[in-house]
Amino acid sequence: PAGNCFIAVVHLKTIKENLVINEIEAYIEEKRAEINPRYRLHYHVAPPVGWMNDPNGFSFYKGQFHLFYQFYPYESQWGPMHWGHSVSPNLVDWKTLPTALVPEEEMCFSGSAVVKDDEMVLMYTGRTTTDEEPFYNETQYLAFSNDGIEFHKYEGNPVLPYTPNGSPDFRDPKVWKHGEHWYVVIGSKTDDERGRVLLYRSPDLISWEFLSVIGESSGDMGYMWECPDFFQLKGKHILLMSPQGLVPQGDRYKNVHQTGYIIGKFSYETFEFVPEISFQEIDFGHDFYAATTTEKDGKRYLVAWFNMWDVPHPEDVDGWAGAMTIIRELELVGNRIVMKPVETITTLREETVWDGNLMENEFVQLDKTGELLITGDLSQNIELLIKGSNGGGQVVLQWDPQVRKVVVDREGDIRQVEWLPLGSEQWRIFLDASSLELFCGEGEVVFSTRVYPDGGWQVTNLSPQPLDTIAYTLRRSVPE
């Protein structure tokens, strides 16, 4: 009888959760019709309505990739966090599923997903408010699903309620399995406001033991490390994370917050991570944060929030805000990570609108989407103007052979970085209705930048040299 009683309680809870979710879905359906489509992305995941930030729970379960995200349906501003949900068979065609997690006493902050005994388990940060300074607390929660669509929260939440130093900043768990154990890295800070990442271990995802601090700012690496991820590439360990509070240094750290990585060696005996290189940014564009990865068939895929905190998001007046980058595949080459667009992205190519030299002042006209492959002579200047065909937002891409830098100039707001091609000297540029992603060469330098054109795109060669150019339109692969 005790067992039956437990089942009845779980059942009631699920019914209540489903009712709330049905209400949200009905609201989304109604609001969808009011969205102004001008900046809506055609092949990037974006919220159906309302606000999106970090990617969460990027994983593979029951034949599909799952990509959850920080979601607030009711306004195109940040609010009490839900988890939105998209799935894809191939990392380019995405479908929206019902909202996965809804806030109750806790806001559902960022986290990750694993598969345990055929069940999908989400681990996320529950952020609660308190009466006393600092007026919030963060602990780790679990939610389960048998179908990857409906989730129920664990009755015994939170499973991981405190940090070694009592810091209330304790968020964004990234879980993985190694041998018999589950491990998790979680972002936090020291008492004197230095960002750090904590490592824990569990036999069952429910009881957790603190192991070590695997990374910590010595003072100049920011006050909080958000969204950590920890994985292997070619036998090395990579700590990926999003530190807040780095001070700009020349061309580096120009965004409000950064995302990057440290490469090193890690031991499952001592739980010590020994860095071999200092922190490197992983993307040099204006809008890239809170990146996270997943592994499938030996390949490591990354996705990031294609926006930045505390900057304007011009689409918000249209009823939505926020997007995900295209999925990238990571590789370790020497002591750096290179990042290529996922291979399946070529299945989006529709029509070849240009194939041949693009002469000075000649331009390619595209509708809302495009992929351009451009090769020039790197001993000379390259300059490309990418602008709305009816005006609006624009970006100038430049290569300066004197300083060997690639420059992305978005209306005077410049991001630039040195580029030493490892092989290919091609630029691969992805344009969507309000975004640009530039992959240089083998992916050694990448820029992700939101830009808001009026109408479609016009790509003009402003350099004296002809540029060998192929341009495709890309089909829609996400819901309207």
- List binders of ligand FRU among 288-317 (CB under 6 A): 289-290
> For the purposes of burial, counting CB atoms within 10 Å of the CB of 394, is it exposed (0-12), middle (13-18) or buried (19 or more)?
middle
172 is catalytic: no
Query: Token pair of 367, please?
Result: 């509708």
Q: Is 227 in the site for ligand FRU (CB under 6 A)?
A: yes
Per-residue string for binding with ligand FRU, 23-62, x by CB under 6 A?
A: ------------------------------xx--------
Query: Token pair of 147, please?
Result: 């179908």
Q: Is 459 within 8 Å of 389 (Cβ atoms)?
A: no
| Burial annotation 264-294 (CB, 10 A radius, 16+ → b, else e) | bebeeeebebeeeeebebbbbbbbbbbbbbb
Residue 269 Cβ vs ligand FRU, minimum distance, rounded to whole Å: 30
Q: Is 68 in the site for ligand FRU (CB under 6 A)?
A: no
Which of 49, 81, 87, 384 binds ligand FRU (CB under 6 A)? It is 81
Beta bridge partner(s), residue 184: 175, 200
Give the number of other CB atoms < 10 A from CB of residue 391.
11
Residue 288 Cβ vs ligand FRU, minimum distance, rounded to whole Å: 11
Residue 57 Cβ vs ligand FRU, minimum distance, rounded to whole Å: 12
Cα dist. 75→31, 81, 440, 453, 461 in Å?
Answer: 10, 11, 36, 23, 40
Q: Is 448 in the site for ligand FRU (CB under 6 A)?
A: no
Q: Is 106 in the site for ligand FRU (CB under 6 A)?
A: no
Q: Is 110 in the site for ligand FRU (CB under 6 A)?
A: yes
Q: Which of 54, 172, 283, 432 is catalytic?
A: 54
Q: Is 323 in the site for ligand FRU (CB under 6 A)?
A: no
Which of 86, 99, 112, 125 binds ligand FRU (CB under 6 A)? It is 125
How does DSSP classify residue 248? P
Cα dist. 240→106, 177, 215, 268, 300 in Å?
Answer: 26, 17, 11, 18, 13
Which of 152, 171, 286, 410 binds ligand FRU (CB under 6 A)? It is 171
Residue 169 Cβ vs ligand FRU, minimum distance, rounded to whole Å: 9
Which of 172, 281, 287, 432 binds ligand FRU (CB under 6 A)? It is 172
Residue 472 Cβ vs ligand FRU, minimum distance, rounded to whole Å: 33
> Which residue ranges make up the site for ligand FRU (CB under 6 A)?
53-54, 70, 81, 109-110, 125, 171-172, 226-227, 289-290
